[in-house]
A and B are shown apart, each in its own frame.
Chain A
Amino acid sequence: MKILVCIKPVPDPESFIVIDDSQNWIIPSDLFKMNRFDESALEEALSIRDRYKSVGLDVLSVGPENSKDVIRRALGMGADAGIHIFCDAEGYISPFLTASCIASYIKESFYDLIFTGAMSEDYMQGQVGRLAAEMTGLPCVSFVVKQEISPDQKSIYVEREMDGGLIESFELTLPALLTIQGGINKPRYPSLSNVLRANRAEIRTINSDLIGKTDPKQINSRLTIPEKRRDGYVLSGSVQEKAAKLIRILSQKAFIT
């Protein structure tokens, strides 16, 4: 059985996000980490491999050069091989483009299971996995919180989280694509032996121009800083002064006595 996990780097949540002069995109941040949802997807795949030793586990990332860093981290966590579909877009890479790169790779290399994160932390679109599934004709369930492969390895039972604490369950014929909810497991840390192997590992690089792409629909976007919806009075001074000011405000409002 072969599993593919799709991963991507995202800017650190606390990094400073600046809109560029064109107002179409941001000035790239240089602090990156692996998308939290993808980490959960990878951990879920690794846990399958822990159970079935013969499982092959590859990771794939579509994007600029820094995608290689998250691929190496995934190899350090225990993935067997990394594939980088290099896409030299300075700015925004649409989910259609990413998904079509993934889809053309899947079509030429057979996998029984494909995992993606349910969404990325930065764009928060929740599209790539579902688009890639449709482009390759695979069944797909999103926001998966639990999975179990059938003993004959021909199907998979999955549970998916809905709003309000409800769980929906499905059985899918393999091959299938699952998008994994964040936080459902504790992603392991890279092990020293794997990190050493990861540093030496050859990452297969494919240029995105060389693989089939569906025509991404044209969209135009403009970025702005969100408007303040409330006063947003910013307290100034030392920590003590800010604390004293907040106490004064909350007392005036009679929240504290």
Chain B
Amino acid sequence: MRKPDRKLIFIIAEHLENKAKSVVFELAACADKIKKFCPAEIKVIILGKETENLSFEITHTTGLDTVAIEINELALYNAEIYKTVINNLAEEFSPSFIIIGHTPRGLDFASGLAVRMKAVCITGVEGVSEAGGKIWFRRQMFYGKINAHITADSEPVIVTVQPGTFEPYKPDNASPGRTETRRIECAPQFTRAKGIRRCKFQDSSISEAKVIVSAGNGIGAKENLDLIYRLADIFPGSTVGGSRILIDRGWLEYRQQIGLTGAQVAPELYIACGISGASQHLAGMRGSGFIVSINKDPGAAIFNESDVCVVEDLNKFIPVFIEEYGKKTDP
């Protein structure tokens, strides 16, 4: 039994092909941070058709307790079942916080669950702090130009955590926690899951480049990509990447996409050209050795993550840079 003076934190485990997704350990780190500010117990909730391997992996990596709910209909993810089952568990255990990945799947059920539970829902959280006896959650707004610090006046609070912002919680000598498995029946009413497939393929070449010159929305027109390639030509061992919007437009290929839904890279030098610096992109390149950003908007969030900031229109700056470099090497 939980001690009366302790709060309870649920972590909802996201998984694929019987393996925990890496975000689960980042959610555990967020829960651990909350626990530093208010005494709490943590339970990792696993929903799936078969959960034995997942429970084992999660509890052995984190040392946290797990509650696994096995449901035949969950061979594939289904939002209706997730909302119903987690809501029932919440009624049984009364968690103060429910922590979910800020991923397409996590976001799929987090807000609906909040309506059902009459809970507060704070999405895209990147940090946790304490002030005035309250827990504050930090998230980005306005293209990353502003941080909002949010606290809730009531519990429960559902939080979705931005992947790539918490260091994964994997204590060295974790002794496995308690695991509990239940099997229940739960059928969806309106939603039938049809399948899951891979549609885009990544190769690792972009992750191996020493230098990445990366383009964002600020390049304006597709023709200007030529400038990006010419800039990249200057650097030995370089390649060209980009933010999601350019891949959406078909200007770059998916294997060149850097960010949450693309590649996570850490080259020695990263040159961000016309990239605003939203957290989805930062999650993919924050670990780079040296970051140079070129953006005409002095308020662009990317400048907070940069070693060198060039406040210029890249379409003016890059040709001059290439010309100046040419003068230097070919006097």
Contacts and interface: CB of A to CB of B under 8 A. Distances in A.
A binds B: yes
Nearest to A100: B115
Interface in A160-183: 160-173, 176, 182-183
Given A232-B309, A235-B309, A126 B107 contact: yes
B32 interface: no
Contacts of A168: 76-77, 105, 193, 195-196
Interface centre among A122, A173, A227, A242 (most CB of B within 10 A): A242
A140 to B, nearest CB: 7
A171 B76 CA distance: 13
A217 B154 contact: yes
Interface residues of A toward B: which range? 35 or more
A134 B141 CA distance: 24
Interface centre among A222, A226, A234 (most CB of B within 10 A): A226
Interface in B227-280: 234-235, 244-245, 248-249, 254, 260-261, 268-269, 276, 278
Nearest to A255: B269
A142 B112 CA distance: 11
B275 to A, nearest CB: 11
Nearest to A129: B111
Nearest to A125: B123
Given A168-B196, A169-B196, A135 B144 contact: no
A22 interface: no
B interface secondary structure, majority: mixed
A125 to B, nearest CB: 5
Contact of B114 (A131, A160, A229, A233): A131
A256 B328 CA distance: 11
Given A126-B123, A244-B324, A249 B308 contact: yes
A235 B115 contact: no
A224 interface: yes
A62 to B, nearest CB: 16
Nearest to A222: B149
Interface stretch (B1-9, B64-72, B299-307): B299-307
B183 to A, nearest CB: 24
Nearest to B136: A222
Nearest to B218: A14
A13 B323 CA distance: 30
A95 B190 CA distance: 24
Given A17-B142, A163-B260, 19 more contacts: A133-B112, A161-B261, A163-B103, A163-B163, A166-B16, A166-B199, A169-B193, A170-B191, A171-B192, A217-B153, A220-B153, A226-B147, A229-B304, A232-B308, A239-B312, A242-B317, A243-B320, A249-B308, A256-B235
18 contacts: A14-B297, A16-B299, A126-B102, A126-B111, A130-B107, A130-B110, A131-B114, A163-B261, A166-B198, A167-B199, A169-B195, A176-B190, A183-B245, A217-B153, A220-B150, A225-B147, A242-B312, A243-B321
Q: For the complex of A and B, list the 6 residue pairs with the smallest distance between their C-beta atoms, beginning with the closest.
A: A183-B248, A165-B200, A139-B190, A134-B112, A130-B111, A134-B115
